[in-house]
Copies of this chain bind each other. A is one copy, B any other.
Amino acid sequence: MTQPDLLTPAQLAQSLQLLRQQAPLVHCMTNDVVQTFTANVLLALQASPAMVIDAEEAAQFVSFADALLINVGTLTRDRRDAMLAAVQSAAKVGTPWTLDPVAVGALSLRTEFCQQLLSLHPAAIRGNASEILALDNQAAGGRGVDSVHQTDAALSAAQQLAQDYHTLVAVTGEVDYVTDGTRTLAIPGGSPLMTRVVGTGCAHSAVVAAFSSLPGDRLQHVAAACRVMSLAGEQAARAVQGPGSFVAAFLDNLWTLEVTV
């Protein structure tokens, strides 16, 4: 494995500009808790979110969408079946899809489902360190939805997963890593306040889904997705009193984000 490189400002600027030009339509099948915030994050980046969840409609809709997000946060058996229908349809029509394996490991329904999904060719996977370790069968999972591991402890698991399933893996935390199993980019930054607001991780996955639909170097684009989130987060954290005002400032920053090369 090679050592991680850094994403350059020029790469970030190029990917972000491309995202705003393309304004991808992102079909989000995500959990109950983060729907509004996920949609608002995508809208603030000039992408278009759409949540369609019935199995038949989801399979239809994915052919109009530029990207699909599968987040197993409040999984039920019905939702699993609808997500599977959407992923199979995405494979057929070539829509790239991203997996967020929320709290995979200790809970049986989602753990079995995530293992099944791995073989259905995700374009990208985004999780915290505990989730990536659990997905690679190296750990039993985190504490609920929170990681109990640092991202560097999960880097080799991420690289292994990426190689095994020919996908990109973004393992996010204090430092984010994005890897295709060979090349790895490291993305420092962000703020601890982001862990005090629900949905920053889940919305991050939606942003990964959006960026992974862009033409060009997908590894660069997904790393840019991580940097966009951490940049808006660290800027917001400097300006606010707490997690309540953080949410508005974070979305405003995504909206106004300018990257100078």
| A residues apposed to B, CB below 8 Å | 25, 27, 31-37, 39-40, 43-44, 46, 48-54, 56-57, 60-61, 64-65, 73-78, 103, 106-110, 143-146, 195-199, 240-245, 247-256
Contacts and interface: CB of A to CB of B under 8 A. Distances in A.
Given A64-B144, A243-B255, A33 B51 contact: yes
Given A110-B57, A242-B251, A244-B249, A36 B199 contact: yes
9 A-B pairs with least C-beta separation: A244-B251, A242-B252, A242-B255, A244-B248, A39-B198, A50-B144, A244-B252, A33-B35, A57-B107
A109 B256 CA distance: 38
B33 A36 contact: yes
Contacts of A195: 43
* Copies of the polypeptide in the assembly: 3
Instruction: Name the residue among A78, A103, A199, A244 with the largest chain B CB count within 10 angstroms.
Output: A244
Given A36-B36, A48-B146, A243 B198 contact: no
B51 A74 contact: yes
Nearest to A73: B51
Contacts of A33: 35-36, 39, 49, 51
Nearest to A34: B36
B243 A50 contact: no
A254 to B, nearest CB: 8
Contacts of A54: 75-77, 109
